[in-house]
């Protein structure tokens, strides 16, 4: 009887233990080193303190993903809980997956170790259907560099494209890290609107969008690194679940993608640089002109030294103009009319000298030479201007004045004896009497005025408190003050294109805050135009204000001359003044 009871207890114990199942499964037992493996740890009872193995020899690229399912079969409830990992093998050979642990009903259960065989890379790798893996395989950020071996100061283009497979879709994205172009002169090309285009990525059909275009001019030779652009992207990928109609349910995965680091090898400019070479690289035309070649002494003319073409226009110096001593020449005014696109900087730069002759005669302005390096022909080229002759018709002849300081008449200054007559040497000072102050008007004023000022201080305090509690009024007054401040800052920054247009745009926005009581987030151009129209602003003033905002946006990314900035500033003053009168009316 005792043996029978013992056998029954052992059987029952084994039966109870057999009810708990905790095991490891792999999606395949043999795979290439360029494929991925899914490992599932499955249990039929809910447990705590799950402890996965270390996965030596693998890189965990996804997981743990947890899945719980409950079903009823023949009146019995079946429970399943699974932890899934996605692994990328690091090397070939037989790799082991160690034991995982779980605590169920205060007992520790362990899975059996598994071994998988890792072979050489396969031509067509197949992977699991993890959402993270699907997002990674169907989303690619690529940096395309126009030239890998440019010359020093030769323009190259970096275009960042986001490729998206038809299997997934992108709902939104944001920039995590912008590349810092060390050792480059850089300028971003503004993309007004993102356009989705069809293309191919590694031979497969993809959609892509150009996110950023940047022009780079390398400033040193040797191997230079172009840092990657990094984005966080919300990707909609098909999941394992289906709806009641059998269609796959999509899951949103946040994926971080980065373009590869790009290495370019910058070549030094060849030997044989001309003596007047100042670093110009590209294709240019050189010219020296004057506004007139005949004038009278005392009149002025403008001599312009100009370089026009395609290249690093902002990164070299123009040759300096020289003139005879009888021509007074002032420091030049530099002007830049340069546009930047995928072909680099195009346009012209010039320096305009004001020249004033002082004597009659004919004066030559010597010819100037300008040298540049042409990357297409890999040669240095030099252009020389013509000699200019200035004919001064009326004025004193050269050589008529005495040597030394010409035109200066020296006279002896007579010193009289009364040159210090304005200085008072005798004073009529009287001591202030200390008697009579007590009881005087000054005494009673000093005594009564502080007491009389107490009600004024109380009234002032109440007004100040009311003003402090007026949140809306304070916000309007603060915005109006900022508008005046930024408009003055815009005037101070005339000549500094970026700071000028930022300050000008801020002043206009803060003016709208003060007058229309709207916040910055509501300031779309359509919203502003609608509000101004509702306030009775005429169509012309409304259009001028919106055009000025668009001019600020556009000018931040395209070169603008000093004259254009002065024009925009004056236009802003006139538009705000006109708008203020109409809003008050």
Give 403's DSSP letter. Answer: S
Say if residue 406's pLDDT is above 80: no
Q: What is the pLDDT of residue 207?
A: 93
Say if residue 373's pLDDT is above 90: yes
By mean pLDDT, which of 161-165, 255-259, 306-310, 476-480 is the weakest? 476-480
Q: 331 and 235 share a domain?
A: no
Where residue 491 sits, what CATH number does that domain have? 1.20.120.330
Q: In whole angstroms, how far apart are CA 279 and each of 153, 220, 268?
A: 8, 12, 12
Residue 544 located in a structural domain? yes
Residue 435 located in a structural domain? no
Tens digits of residue pLDDT in 152-163: 999 999 999 999
Bond prior to 64 in cis (omega within 30° of 0): yes
User: How many other C-beta atoms are found inside a 10 Å radius of the C-beta of residue 196?
Assistant: 11
Where a domain ends, among 323, 357, 392?
392
Q: What is the pLDDT of residue 414?
A: 47
Say if residue 402's pLDDT is above 50: no
Q: 330 and 373 share a domain?
A: yes
Tokens of 276: 């007047």
Residue 522 located in a structural domain? yes
Cα(312)–Cα(262) distance, integer angstroms: 22
Q: What is the pLDDT of residue 129?
A: 52
Cα(576)–Cα(18) distance, integer angstroms: 84
Say if residue 201's pLDDT is above 60: yes
Residue 437 banded pLDDT, cuts 50, 70, 90 = low
Say if residue 398's pLDDT is above 60: no
Cα(253)–Cα(233) distance, integer angstroms: 8
Q: Beta strands 114-119 and 30-32: pairing type?
A: parallel
Cα(549)–Cα(572) distance, integer angstroms: 9
Q: Which of 368, 373, 406 is nearest to 155 (CA)?
A: 373
Q: What is the pLDDT of residue 433?
A: 55
Where a domain ends, among 371, 392, 413?
392
Cα(511)–Cα(234) distance, integer angstroms: 37
Average pLDDT over residues 417-421: 54
Residue 380 banded pLDDT, cuts 50, 70, 90 = very high
What's this model's pTM, rounded to 2 decimal places? 0.49
Q: Which of 63, 80, 82, 218 is nearest to 152 (CA)?
A: 218
Say if residue 279's pLDDT is above 50: yes
Average pLDDT over residues 482-492: 69
Q: In whole angstroms, how far apart are CA 233 and each of 195, 262, 311?
A: 17, 22, 36
Angle CA 480–486–488, to nearest 5: 105
Cα(539)–Cα(582) distance, integer angstroms: 12
Residue 532 located in a structural domain? yes
Average pLDDT over residues 177-192: 86
Are 56 and 91 a contacting pair, CB within 8 Å? no
Residue 444 located in a structural domain? no
Average pLDDT over residues 57-77: 74
414 versus 385: the higher-pLDDT residue is: 385
By mean pLDDT, which of 335-344, 466-475, 501-510, 531-540 is the weakest? 466-475
Average pLDDT over residues 325-344: 90
Residue 463 located in a structural domain? no
Q: What is the pLDDT of residue 223?
A: 92
Residues β-bridged to residue 502: none
Q: 36 and 61 share a domain?
A: yes
Q: What is the pLDDT of residue 302?
A: 94
What's the number of domains the chain is made of? 4
Angle CA 116–119–125, to nearest 5: 95
Cα(503)–Cα(351) distance, integer angstroms: 28
Q: What is the pLDDT of residue 345?
A: 93
Tens digits of residue pLDDT in 132-148: 677 777 888 999 999 99
Tens digits of residue pLDDT in 531-554: 888 888 888 888 888 888 877 776
Residue 217 located in a structural domain? yes
Tens digits of residue pLDDT in 91-116: 889 999 999 999 888 889 999 999 99
Q: 482 and 371 share a domain?
A: no
User: How many other C-beta atoms are found inside a 10 Å radius of the C-beta of residue 416?
Assistant: 7
Residue 188 located in a structural domain? yes
Say if residue 67's pLDDT is above 50: yes
Q: 299 and 196 share a domain?
A: no
Q: 145 and 227 share a domain?
A: yes
Burial of 233 (0-12, 13-18, 19+ CB in 10 A): buried
Residue 408 banded pLDDT, cuts 50, 70, 90 = very low
Listed in sequence order, the residues at least 6 apart from 229 whose beta carbon sits closer than 8 Å to its beta carbon are 141, 143, 160, 175, 177, 178, 179, 211, 212, 258, 259
Q: 221 and 316 share a domain?
A: no
User: How many other C-beta atoms are found inside a 10 Å radius of the C-beta of residue 123?
Assistant: 6
What is the Cβ-side half-sphere exposure of residue 218, based on CA atoms within 13 angstroms?
25
Cα(461)–Cα(482) distance, integer angstroms: 25
State the chain's mean pLDDT as an integer: 81
Residue 407 banded pLDDT, cuts 50, 70, 90 = very low
Say if residue 494's pLDDT is above 90: no
Say if residue 491's pLDDT is above 90: no
Q: 138 and 260 share a domain?
A: yes
Burial of 244 (0-12, 13-18, 19+ CB in 10 A): exposed
307 versus 564: the higher-pLDDT residue is: 307
Q: What is the pLDDT of residue 308?
A: 96
User: How many other C-beta atoms are found inside a 10 Å radius of the C-beta of residue 497?
Assistant: 20
Q: In whole angstroms, how far apart are CA 182 and each of 228, 281, 417, 456?
A: 12, 20, 73, 63
Say if residue 523's pLDDT is above 70: no
SS3 405: coil
Range of the domain at 159: 134-266
Where a domain ends, among 124, 149, 164?
124
Please name the residue that has the structure tokens 């107490």.
454
Where residue 81 sits, what CATH number does that domain have? 2.60.40.740
Q: 147 and 228 share a domain?
A: yes
Residue 369 banded pLDDT, cuts 50, 70, 90 = very high
Q: 324 and 346 share a domain?
A: yes
Q: 169 and 261 share a domain?
A: yes
Q: 286 and 238 share a domain?
A: no
Q: What is the pLDDT of residue 318?
A: 95
- Which of 163-172, 218-227, 235-244, 394-403 tops mean pLDDT? 218-227
Tens digits of residue pLDDT in 335-350: 999 998 888 999 999 9
Residue 411 banded pLDDT, cuts 50, 70, 90 = very low
335 versus 488: the higher-pLDDT residue is: 335
């Amino acid at each position: 009887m005792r043996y029978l009871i013992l056998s029954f207890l052992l059987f029952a114990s084994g039966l109870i233990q057999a009810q708990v199942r905790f095991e490891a499964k792999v999606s395949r037992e043999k795979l290439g080193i360029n494929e991925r493996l899914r490992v599932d740890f499955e249990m039929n009872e809910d447990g705590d303190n799950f402890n996965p193995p270390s996965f030596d020899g693998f890189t965990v690229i996804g997981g743990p993903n947890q899945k719980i399912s409950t079903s009823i079969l023949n009146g019995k409830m079946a429970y399943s809980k699974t932890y899934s990992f996605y692994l990328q093998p690091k090397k070939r050979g037989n790799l082991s997956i160690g034991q995982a642990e779980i605590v169920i009903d205060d007992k520790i259960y362990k899975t059996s170790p598994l071994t998988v065989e890792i072979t050489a890379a396969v031509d067509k790798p197949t992977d699991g259907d993890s959402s993270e893996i699907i997002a990674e395989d169907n989303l690619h950020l690529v940096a395309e560099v126009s030239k890998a071996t440019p010359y020093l100061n030769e323009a190259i283009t970096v275009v960042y494209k986001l490729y998206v497979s038809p299997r997934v879709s992108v709902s939104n994205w944001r920039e995590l890290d912008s590349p810092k172009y060390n050792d480059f002169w850089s300028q971003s090309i503004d993309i007004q609107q993102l356009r989705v285009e069809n293309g191919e990525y590694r031979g497969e059909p993809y959609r892509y969008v150009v996110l950023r275009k940047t022009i780079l001019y390398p400033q040193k030779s040797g191997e230079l690194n172009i840092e990657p652009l990094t984005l966080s992207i919300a990707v909609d990928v098909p999941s394992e679940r289906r709806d009641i109609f059998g269609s796959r349910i999509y899951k949103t995965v946040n994926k971080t993608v980065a373009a590869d680091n790009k290495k370019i090898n910058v070549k030094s400019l060849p030997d044989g640089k001309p003596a007047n070479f100042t670093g110009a690289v590209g294709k240019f035309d050189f010219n020296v002109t004057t506004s007139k070649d005949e004038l009278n002494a005392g009149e002025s003319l403008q001599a312009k030294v100009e370089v026009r073409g395609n290249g690093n226009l902002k990164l070299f110096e123009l040759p300096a103009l020289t003139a005879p001593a009888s021509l007074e020449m002032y420091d030049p005014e530099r002007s830049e009319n340069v546009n930047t696109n995928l072909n680099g900087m195009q346009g012209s730069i010039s320096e305009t000298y004001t020249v004033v002759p002082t004597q009659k005669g004919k004066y030559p302005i010597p010819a100037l030479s300008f040298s540049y390096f042409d990357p297409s022909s890999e040669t240095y080229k030099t252009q020389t201007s013509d000699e200019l002759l200035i004919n001064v018709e009326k004025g004193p002849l050269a050589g008529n004045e005495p040597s030394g300081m010409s035109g200066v008449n020296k006279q002896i200054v007579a010193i009289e004896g009364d040159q210090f007559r304005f200085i008072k040497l005798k004073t009529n000072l009287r001591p202030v009497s200390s008697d009579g102050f007590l009881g005087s008007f000054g005494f009673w004023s000093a005594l009564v005025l502080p007491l009389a000022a107490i009600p004024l201080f109380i009234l002032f305090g109440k007004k100040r408190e009311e003003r402090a509690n007026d949140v809306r009024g304070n916000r309007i007054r603060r915005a109006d003050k900022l508008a005046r401040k930024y408009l003055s800052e815009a005037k101070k920054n005339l000549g500094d294109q970026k700071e000028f247009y930022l300050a000008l745009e801020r002043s206009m926005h803060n003016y709208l805050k003060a007058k229309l009581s709207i916040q910055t987030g509501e300031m779309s151009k359509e919203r502003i135009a609608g509000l101004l129209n509702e306030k009775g602003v005429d169509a012309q003033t409304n259009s001028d204000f919106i055009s000025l905002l668009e001019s600020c946006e556009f000018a931040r990314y395209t070169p603008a001359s000093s004259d254009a900035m002065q024009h925009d500033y004056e236009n802003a003053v006139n538009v705000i003044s006109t708008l203020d009168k109409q809003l008050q009316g």
